[in-house]
Structure 1
Amino acid sequence: MQDLGLLQAWGMWFDNVQVNQHTIYGISILGLGRVGKVVSFIAGMTVILDIIGPDRIRQFGSRHKRFEPFRSRTYMKIVIAVSLLGLIICAMIFMANRDAGPSEGASAAVGAILLAGMVLFIAPGVARAMTQVLAKGLENQAWERAIRWSAVILLAVGFHFDLLAS
């Protein structure tokens, strides 16, 4: 595997040499191609946003400005699902570590329960903050323009690396 510069990689690509096994400044070209596909997909989401329409998106944002996750039935369903998943994971960890000794298996199970509890405690605040920021942004028409221009740039960069890795 050879480390290439960007122009050198494009030169090899134009000469019909497969460059996806090489690196650009230490970063795998194949990995850059995969990231390019994801970035292109994210940039393409602006088309979906245009189909939905900015007015509907702004209405959605203004409706969810006062999002109260603790009063939400959906949140309670998520809490129950995550709690059950946490219990299943604890049981699996306990069963996997029972040969290692009771103290290690028990501490792993307790650690998993504590981690699940922390996630459930922090998640509503994070969800509320993200919803409020998104709602404020969706009400701003200048933000739309920034999203569209960012999408154009992301699409060009993503397509660039995706094409180079092909």
Structure 2
Amino acid sequence: MADISYLDAWGMWLDGRSTLGHDLLGLPLLWWGRFGKILSFVSGATVVVDLVGPEKLSRYGERLARFMARKPSRNTFVVGLLTGGAVVLVAEPIGVPWPVEFVLGTTLGGAAGLLAFRLGSALQDPELPMATRWVSLGLFVLGFHFDLLAS
């Protein structure tokens, strides 16, 4: 597959030619489109926040903070292990080399384990619903962009 630049991809799209079968930054545009669809789906988090409500989210945050504080090192390890495993499961079918999978899984797994501590506090923040709406808008725009580019 031919590796094309970002501007070349948009040029092809604007000319009405398919970008599928080409690579962008070493990844097939088919996968960029799939990531776009996933980001667009995740942007629906606003709906979850609105349906659940800020009060319930705050209670969930208190529970998560207590859970993570109970046995911090073990719980952080479990969250990190689950996240790292998910990264490997997603990266394997794409054909990512195993050293890159290992680094991504370890890095993202460790970050997720540490962020679980912060998530408990964040869920208790009264500004969370508004911040979630803005983040969801950004994810939707980014996801739609890559989905459109790969069409």
Q: Which TM-score tier does this pair reach, normalised by the shorter chain?
A: 0.5 to 0.7
Whole-Å separation in 2 of the counterparts to 1:164 and 1:30: 9
Shift of 1:130: 5.5
Closer/same/farther in 2, CA of residues 130 and 14 from structure 1, 3 Å limit = closer
Choose which of 141, 144, 154 in structure 1 pairs with 2:126: 141
Letter in 2 for 1:158: G
Q: Counterpart of 1:112?
A: none
Unaligned residue ranges in structure 1 (runs of 5+): 70-125
Question: Does 2:17 match 1:14?
Answer: no
Closer/same/farther in 2, CA of residues 13 and 55 from structure 1, 3 Å limit = same
Q: Counterpart of 1:5?
A: 5
Q: Deviations over 1:27-78 (max 9, x none)?
A: 3211111111111111112212211111211122123432247xxxxxxxxx
Any conservation in 2 of the 1:20–1:164 contact (CA below 8 Å)?
no
Q: Counterpart of 1:40?
A: 40
Whole-Å separation in 1 of the counterparts to 2:2 and 2:65: 51
Shift of 1:140: 1.0
Between the two proteins, the alignment pairs up a number of residues equal to 111
Any conservation in 1 of the 2:32–2:147 contact (CA below 8 Å)?
yes
Q: SS in structure 2 opposite 1:23?
A: strand
Q: Counterpart of 2:55?
A: 55
Any conservation in 1 of the 2:45–2:132 contact (CA below 8 Å)?
no
Q: Counterparts in 2 of 1:12-161, with a 5 A limit?
A: 12-67=12-67, 68=70, 126=113, 131-161=116-146
Shift of 1:24: 2.0
Whole-Å separation in 1 of the counterparts to 2:20 and 2:2: 10
Letter in 1 for 2:22: H
Whole-Å separation in 1 of the counterparts to 2:115 and 2:27: 32
Q: Which has the larger radius of gyration?
A: 1
TM-score in terms of structure 2 length:
0.61
Whole-Å separation in 2 of the counterparts to 1:44 and 1:31: 20
